Amino acid sequence: MINLQFAIFIGYFLLVFFIGWLGMKWTRSEEDYWIAGGKLGWGIGGATMAATHTSAGTFIGTIGVIYAVGWSFGWVLISIPLAYWFTVAVLAPRFTSVTELTLPAYLERRYQSRLARGIGGGIILIATVVYIQAQVVAGGLVANVVFNISPLTGMIIFTAILIIYTLVGGMLAVVYTDFLQMIIMIVGTLISVPLALLHFEGLAKLIEKVELIHPHAMQWGGLPTVLLITMSMAFFLGSVATPEKVIRLYAMKDMKTIRRGILLAIILVTGINLLVFILGLAAMALFPNLPTGDLAMPMIAKAVLPTFVGTIMLAAITSAMMSTVDSLLLVAGSALSEDIYQNMVHKEVSNKRKLRVARIGILIVGVIPLISILAGFAEGELIQFIVILFTAIMAAGFFTPVVGGILWKRATKQGAIAAMIGGVLSTGLWKAYGDPLIYPVLPGFLVSVAAYVAFSLFTPAPPESAWKPYFEKKMED
């Protein structure tokens, strides 16, 4: 069993490194490294969008929350396809009128402010560390199950693998490994769900057993309604405006491609989430006394599924984590190199030096979560709740200035800066001191919008050159 698991995982990681090497060979410019040359088709583009969304928060976090509180958490995820619809119907047509290499670069162009760009880069670095921590914790859990090593050792190995191939290949490596990882995720879930249901003679029998063991599981009250609504808000706002997703709009070649790609992403993400819900219920029936819900999916893969299928499922979980973290590492690297170093510190710098700074940033942001874990940050918190905290920070920081910038000509740089700072600070303060029944994205978003409008109205109107490209230039289908 162990030999088979080793063989599958080693083969998988070797393939990932090979793709990273190819990405390095295919990279000829900054555009190749950061946005895959802006030439992705809808198949690769949609798959990489879906893979970036599908993380440890899906395969371990969502199952863990369902295990802990029941099916009601599933309503939160309805907001995700709505967010993708908003992205393609409202944001993308104007946002992609001018192609940039990073999201903060858009903020600089739209608001004509280097400071806005630098603040955006700083928010990305902070929030990325929070998110990667959740994925690293999940990587340690999987390594413990697969290789019987300590979770901390697993976290270190997982982080090292991610950093290496992201450093080497850039966005070209990331999008093609994302495509591979999405295939593994689909295959893993499609095989695992029917095999898990065989233990219960079908879905109806599974639900009956779950109701007997955990009567609360099929009831609405697993989480307070207000908390569910505000968590849904975090998913919606964050799915629209998080940098690792927005940058994929630049990576796809035109609006027709974007529409098709996002439709594919909606189908993939929704399908995987539905299958994950079933696995969460199966874990409740099979392992009713786990110390944490985050162990539910690894236990199904190890104890319920045949060795080969279980290993494929664990590889799918690993793929989900890697497909998100590599994208975030790349975004963090670009934030440090393009948006902070070149923009705020050293204006005249060669592309070679920028890439060197970016790789240093990827290394730093990849290592800090390990240090944070050792320090006990968010210790004992379910992985999905760490993921939603990241989403809340990104939503409060970026949704208003990003979407407002393509909808409101009067928006100013002062409004954008106030929105980002006010939104992030309010989210953090509410997380630390606010009512836990209201997720911090709500006060963060409200403060962000209020600051955006107030500071924009009480400062001079922006020049026409700031907003004109996003309101008059039309994308060709």
H, E, C per residue of 236-275: HHHHHHCHHHHHHHHHECCHHHHHHHHHHHHHHHHHHHHH
Instruction: Say if residue 476's pLDDT is above 50.
Output: no
pLDDT of residue 192: 82
Residue owning tokens 């999201």? 103
Which of left, alpha, beta for 149 (phi over 0: left; psi -120 to 50: alpha)? beta
The mean pLDDT of 95-120, rounded to a whole number, is 88
- Report how far residue 8's alpha carbon sits from residue 301's, in angstroms, rounded to the nearest whole number: 14
Per-residue pLDDT band at 345 (split at 50, 70, 90): low
Instruction: Say if residue 64's pLDDT is above 60.
Output: yes
Instruction: Say if residue 95's pLDDT is above 70.
Output: yes
Residue owning tokens 């039309």? 474
- Report how far residue 54's alpha carbon sits from residue 50's, in angstroms, rounded to the nearest whole number: 6
Span of 245-259, 358-372, 434-448 with lowest mean pLDDT: 358-372
Residue owning tokens 């594919």? 264
pLDDT of residue 125: 81
DSSP lists the bridge partners of residue 358 as: none
pLDDT of residue 477: 44
- Report how far residue 315's alpha carbon sits from residue 420's, in angstroms, rounded to the nearest whole number: 37
Instruction: Say if residue 247's pLDDT is above 50.
Output: yes
pLDDT of residue 337: 74
For residue 367 the two structure tokens come to: 């290592």
Per-residue pLDDT band at 461 (split at 50, 70, 90): very high
Per-residue pLDDT band at 347 (split at 50, 70, 90): low
* Cα-trace Rg, the chain: 22
Residue percentage of the chain with pLDDT more than 90: 18
pLDDT of residue 368: 80
Q: How many CB atoms lie within 10 A of CB 364?
A: 15
Distances (CA, A) of 396 to 52, 110, 241, 462, 477: 20, 19, 9, 23, 32
- Inter-residue contact 451 to 422 (CB < 8 Å): yes
- Tell which wins on pLDDT, 349 or 426: 426
Residue owning tokens 């629209």? 240
Instruction: Say if residue 253's pLDDT is above 60.
Output: yes
Distances (CA, A) of 173 to 179, 251, 268, 334, 408: 10, 13, 21, 15, 36
**Residues contacting 378, CB < 8 A, separation 6+:** 133, 372, 386
If we measure between CA atoms, which residue out of 358, 385, 372 comes closest to residue 441?
Answer: 385
**H runs (alpha helix) in 335-412:** 351-374, 383-394, 400-407
**Residues contacting 358, CB < 8 A, separation 6+:** 333, 334, 336, 337, 338
Instruction: Say if residue 327's pLDDT is above 60.
Output: yes
The mean pLDDT of 434-451, rounded to a whole number, is 91
- Report how far residue 249's alpha carbon sits from residue 408's, in angstroms, rounded to the nearest whole number: 21
Residue 311's SS3 state is: helix
The mean pLDDT of 288-311, rounded to a whole number, is 76
Which range, 246-255, 285-294, 416-425, is most confident?
Answer: 416-425
Angle of helix 413-433 relative to helix 400-407, nearest 10 degrees, comes to 150
**H runs (alpha helix) in 252-350:** 255-286, 296-303, 307-334
Which range, 113-122, 182-191, 349-358, 403-412, is most confident?
Answer: 403-412
- Does the global pTM surpass 0.85? no
pLDDT of residue 65: 78
For residue 444 the two structure tokens come to: 């963060």
On average, the pLDDT of the chain sits at 79
Instruction: Say if residue 463's pLDDT is above 90.
Output: yes
Number of C-alpha atoms within 13 angstroms, CB side, residue 349? 19
pLDDT of residue 31: 63
Residue percentage of the chain with pLDDT more than 70: 81
The mean pLDDT of 397-417, rounded to a whole number, is 95
* Each residue's pLDDT tens digit, 169-201: 555 666 676 677 677 778 878 888 888 888 888
The mean pLDDT of 112-133, rounded to a whole number, is 84
pLDDT of residue 8: 75
Per-residue pLDDT band at 166 (split at 50, 70, 90): low
- Report how far residue 131's alpha carbon sits from residue 134's, in angstroms, rounded to the nearest whole number: 5
Instruction: Say if residue 380's pLDDT is above 60.
Output: no
If we measure between CA atoms, which residue out of 356, 370, 359, 369 comes closest to residue 332?
Answer: 359
The DSSP code sequence of 444-465 is: HHHHHHHHHHHHHHTSPPPPHH
pLDDT of residue 66: 80
Per-residue pLDDT band at 344 (split at 50, 70, 90): low
If we measure between CA atoms, which residue out of 393, 232, 255, 231 comes closest to residue 328?
Answer: 393
Per-residue pLDDT band at 217 (split at 50, 70, 90): confident
**Residues contacting 229, CB < 8 A, separation 6+:** none
Structural domains in the chain, sorted by start: 2-384 (1.20.1730.10)
If we measure between CA atoms, which residue out of 425, 412, 419, 391 comes closest to residue 466?
Answer: 412
If we measure between CA atoms, which residue out of 179, 229, 297 comes closest to residue 79?
Answer: 229
pLDDT of residue 475: 44
Q: How many CB atoms lie within 10 A of CB 374?
A: 10
pLDDT of residue 57: 64
